[in-house]
Amino acid sequence: MVGLYDPRFEHDSCGFGLIAQLDDRRSSDLVAAALSALARMSHRGGIGGDGLSGDGCGLLLRRPESFLRALAEESGIRVGMLFASGLVFLSRDHIAAESARRELAAQAARLNLHVAGWREVPIDESACGPAALATMPRIEQVFVNAEPGSDTGSFARALYRLRRRTEIALQHDNDFFVVSLSPWSIGYKGMVIPGRLGDLYPDLSHAEVSASAAVFHQRFSTNTEPRWALAQPFRFLAHNGEINSIQGNRNWMRGRGAKLRSPLMDFREFEPLIELEGSDSQSLDNMLEVLLVGGLELPQAMRMLVPPAWRDTESMDPDLQAFYEYFALSSEPWDGPAGIVMLDGRYAACTLDRNGLRPARWLLTQDRHLVVASETGVYDVAAENVVAKGRLGPGEMIAADLYSGEFLGSDDIDRINRNRAPFKRWLKQGVSYLESDLIDPSLATEPMDDHTLASFQKRFGLSREERDAV
């Protein structure tokens, strides 16, 4: 018998936030503040009857370099000048887990990467309830050394190839899941209540763990099955809300995947490029990752995927409008309501979709911390220490540039994007616009009887609620 549940229609309504130190100064205090903020979002997620199992929560940290090197040395693992480390969910079956390790090592060797070693991540199972324990995977940490002479960008692309090739080879293994594997960040997540994430992973409470930016998330599964792999943040983002256009986005990506080109990456061997049966948030994270490894920067990629309302906006700068129109030719908007926080190698950012129906409040402090959250009260700060604060509106985006130390508002991001290329000239040279009068004048003047009107309302998807309330 086929049930009503279908993983393709998974949506969430969650709590999220980020903390970033604009000067890229790492500190253990920032990690502690992120854990504390996450714990204050317990009301945002579901809690199981055992009082400890949750819908899922997590933390994505800008990589604590010295701490990871110390962990590797402690475990007898030799890491190079350029390396990546990340958590991996494996099967509880020892044979299946060993098979996954060997496959990842073999794929790494084909890419001239070297798996330096695996570390069993310390886990405090008392932080989990029975429901979470019943489905908890084996959690290990892998260390991968870059090919000698690689730069960070080429290494990140090699890690993407490594992960995707391994996922394709192990598609029969439902337990295998790479939480994160990046030269820039590391993620921790699980099916626990947010106040116990630091207990689940004692590494997070270590005095030496430090970061300059963190994204945190508490999941609320509105119509989904809680799963360890679906806890957020994913590899680049955390998301509150729903992508109501998700089926169309996935279908368009399947159709256009073969046409996706980048001088940096041949994506054809990795199709489908986005997860078709995970949550909507996971698919969006996949799509963002594709654009980033393909060479786009985060503010550009995110404005391409989740643009503001730009059509027929007379007040918008023509060059900026050309930027959005240019990218609209190759990507439909991922429409919410959605609030999204992100972290990559350079930016910590937050955006709202053009509907603007998810809360995202921000503040900037004198000690140059940017704090964003889905509600106030998750971060302790004295009023006299606040330099600026606000709330994101529909289609707005803010970011911390951890390279330059700048706080970027929506206008700053738009200015950067519109100046990236001569989009208006490209449109004029390469786009033809078809114009035609498709309106039947008789429909505008000839009155309809009730039966005909009802037929047209159904045809165009107008519900009684919309007719009566809107």
Asked if residue 154 and residue 51 are part of one domain, the reply reads no
Asked if residue 142 and residue 51 are part of one domain, the reply reads no
Token pair 């390469």 is found at 430
Active site residue 14: yes
Asked if residue 314 and residue 169 are part of one domain, the reply reads no
Q: Tokens standing for 463?
A: 């519900």
Q: Compute the distance between CA of residue 90 and CA of residue 84 in angstroms, rounded to an integer.
A: 18
Is residue 446 situated within a structural domain? no
Final residue belonging to a domain, choices 154, 183, 212: 183
Confidence of residue 253 (pLDDT cuts 50, 70, 90): confident
Average pLDDT over residues 356-385: 95
Q: 78-87, 198-207, 257-266: which has the minimum mean pLDDT?
A: 257-266
Is residue 424 situated within a structural domain? yes
Final residue belonging to a domain, choices 183, 217, 245: 183
3-state secondary structure of 387: strand
Is residue 278 situated within a structural domain? yes
Asked if residue 422 and residue 286 are part of one domain, the reply reads yes
Is residue 458 situated within a structural domain? no
Residue 290: what are its φ and ψ, rounded to 5°? -60, -45
Asked if residue 170 and residue 106 are part of one domain, the reply reads yes
Asked if residue 250 and residue 163 are part of one domain, the reply reads no
Cβ 42 vs Cβ 195: under 8 Å: yes
Question: Residue 380 is part of a domain; what is its CATH number?
Answer: 3.60.20.10
> Dihedral of the CA atoms 298, 301, 306, 309 (nearest 10)?
110
Is residue 1 situated within a structural domain? no
Q: What is the pLDDT of residue 249?
A: 92
Average pLDDT over residues 61-70: 97
Is residue 455 situated within a structural domain? no
Question: Residue 167 is part of a domain; what is its CATH number?
Answer: 3.30.70.1130
- 314-327 pLDDT, tens digit per residue, is 889 999 999 999 99
3-state secondary structure of 147: coil
Asked if residue 194 and residue 168 are part of one domain, the reply reads no
Q: 43-47, 189-193, 375-379: which has the minimum mean pLDDT?
A: 43-47
3-state secondary structure of 120: strand
- 273-309 pLDDT, tens digit per residue, is 888 887 899 999 999 999 999 999 999 999 999 999 9
Q: How many domains does the chain have?
A: 2
Sheet containing 185-192, strands listed edge to edge, beginning at the edge strand earlier in sequence: 185-192, 53-62, 213-218, 15-21, 369-373, 361-365, 386-391
| Most confident by average pLDDT, 63-67, 314-318, 376-380 | 63-67
Instruction: Tell me the residue range of the domain where 420 lies.
Output: 7-60+188-439
Q: Name the residue among 287, 300, 165 with its Cα closest to residue 236.
A: 287
Q: Compute the distance between CA of residue 300 and CA of residue 327 in angstroms, rounded to an integer.
A: 10
Q: What is the pLDDT of residue 2?
A: 42
Is residue 456 situated within a structural domain? no
Q: What is the pLDDT of residue 54?
A: 81
Helix ranges (DSSP H) in 297-376: 298-305, 318-328
Confidence of residue 117 (pLDDT cuts 50, 70, 90): very high
Residue 235: what are its φ and ψ, rounded to 5°? -75, -25
Q: What is the pLDDT of residue 469?
A: 63
Q: What is the pLDDT of residue 11?
A: 43
Confidence of residue 450 (pLDDT cuts 50, 70, 90): confident
Asked if residue 231 and residue 128 are part of one domain, the reply reads no
Q: What is the chain's mean pLDDT, rounded? A: 91
Confidence of residue 259 (pLDDT cuts 50, 70, 90): confident
Asked if residue 86 and residue 47 are part of one domain, the reply reads no
Q: 48-57, 98-107, 121-130: which has the minimum mean pLDDT?
A: 48-57
Is residue 468 situated within a structural domain? no
Asked if residue 109 and residue 208 are part of one domain, the reply reads no
Average pLDDT over residues 329-347: 93
Q: Which residues of 19-37 are buried (b: 16+ CB within 10 A; e: fewer)?
A: bbbbebebebebbbbbbbb
Asked if residue 229 and residue 105 are part of one domain, the reply reads no
Identify the active-site residue in 14, 57, 128, 350.
14
Final residue belonging to a domain, choices 183, 215, 235: 183
Q: Over 70: is that where the pLDDT of 224 sits?
A: no
Q: Tokens standing for 111?
A: 């890419």
Q: Tokens standing for 455?
A: 């037929």
Q: Tokens standing for 9?
A: 């229609």
Asked if residue 196 and residue 48 are part of one domain, the reply reads yes
Average pLDDT over residues 370-392: 95
